[in-house]
Amino acid sequence: MRILQIAPLAERVPPIRYGGTEAVVGLLADGLVRAGHEVVLWASGDSLALAELRSVYPHGLRLDPTVTNPHPYEWMHAVEAIKAVEEFDIIHNHHGEWVMALASLLDVPMLTTMHCLIEPDTKFVWERYRGFFNTISQAERATIPPLEGPRFVGVVYNAVDVASFPFRASKEDYLLFIGQIAPAKGPHLVVQVARRLGMRLIIAGKIDPPNRQYFAETIEPYIDRQQIQFVGEVGYEKRTLYASARCLLVPICWEEPFGLVMAEAMACGTPVIAFDRGAAPELVVDGETGYIVRDVDEMAEAIGRLDRVDPYRCRQHVEEHFDAPSMVQRYLEIYERILAPETSQVEAKPVPLPSPPGMRVA
């Protein structure tokens, strides 16, 4: 197959620091090349990939201080990506509505992966989109029932390169939060947990301009270097933080469609304690690879039960369900279904997806 992968333009592929979608696209593109397919990756010009790289802009937009309005760049990225579309058997769109809006102009089939929830102001595009799409969790699928039908082709979990995450059975005595510093991610709640238990806490994450006041009011006053430490946005070094942490805390306050940090932490043998929101119950096996809890009180209590979680089981769970080869294979199955001659006449059947042992589906 000759496959066009269209990545977002916000970050490099793979990302230098923050960028879950870009990390997944990089793994998928490389995996498809290793499987013998011809792949073109449309991404920022500084991206690194085994696939043929094409770009309209030299680097990711978010870290470019000269870009104050990304929308013109996003549109040009989408339009230029599809100009030579006749070269390909299939287009895999990770760039969202920018590319979806152009789908009706194309004769080549398009698959769009929903990396984010549908926002009210983008529902208009989704309702008129005529390509295929998949979700990245069962929880995310539950948010889109009006859109299901012949064009929905299944659930495919995101993945991590397990081999690149160091396993460590012995842990240091600190709690860890890694993620965007934003109310929806709940870092202010991990501060509450750490202060209540008197435990050391490391917080790592990016702070976008709209969230600077939130950080200044709810987190910064409690940073003291002795107990609560903020290390800013992290890249490859996050692996060391994961591997040494007592656990990763994920107090999400929204219906997060996946949550790559959970898979990354467990790949290092580190348990995850997460709120029962979004896809968290699909990633964490409650009582085996961590705990699914409802609030701060239950999160604090679960920390006292971490000695019951086997680090080797955490690693095994990610190897079995969230390693890159599994994701690549599932997308190949979906591509083949879409390209089958009968696809245009009959409903595309969702790719079967086995549930992880002990999974509690939201």
**71 strand-pairing partners:** none
SS3 272: strand
CATH class belonging to 162-320 = alpha beta
Q: Which amino acid is at 111?
A: L
Q: What is the pLDDT of residue 148?
A: 67
Q: What's the Cα-to-Cα distance from 350 to each of 115, 151, 154, 210, 329, rounded to whole Å?
A: 18, 10, 4, 38, 14
What pairing do the DSSP bridges indicate for beta strands 272-275 and 200-204? unpaired
Per-residue pLDDT of the chain (362 residues; tens, 9 = 90+): 999 999 999 999 999 888 899 999 999 999 999 999 999 999 999 999 999 999 999 999 998 999 999 999 999 999 999 998 999 999 999 999 999 999 999 999 999 999 999 998 898 999 899 899 999 999 999 998 776 677 999 999 999 999 999 999 999 999 999 999 999 999 999 999 999 999 999 999 999 999 999 999 999 999 987 899 999 999 999 999 999 999 999 999 999 999 999 999 999 999 999 999 999 999 999 999 999 999 999 999 999 999 999 999 999 999 999 999 999 999 999 999 999 964 443 344 444 444 554 443 33
Tokens of 190: 């991990």
Give the angle 183-265-207 at the CA atoms, nearest 5°: 30
Residue 271, preceding peptide bond in cis (omega within 30° of 0): no
Residue type, 76: M
Domain positions in the chain are 2-159+323-344, 162-320
Give buried/exposed letters for 208-237 (b at 16+ CB in 10 A, else e): eeebeebbeebbeebeeeeebebeebbeee
What is the distance in angstroms between the CA of the first residue and the CA of the last residue of the chain? 35
Residues 6+ apart with CB under 8 A from 362: 138, 139, 142, 255, 276, 277, 278, 279, 280, 281, 282
- The structure's pTM equals 0.92
How crowded is residue 3: how many other Cβ atoms within 10 Å of its Cβ? 23
Run of H or E residues at 125:
helix 123-128
Which class is 2-159+323-344 in CATH? alpha beta
- From 49, 54, 64, select the one nearest 11 (Cα to Cα): 64
Shared fold status for 2-159+323-344 and 162-320: yes
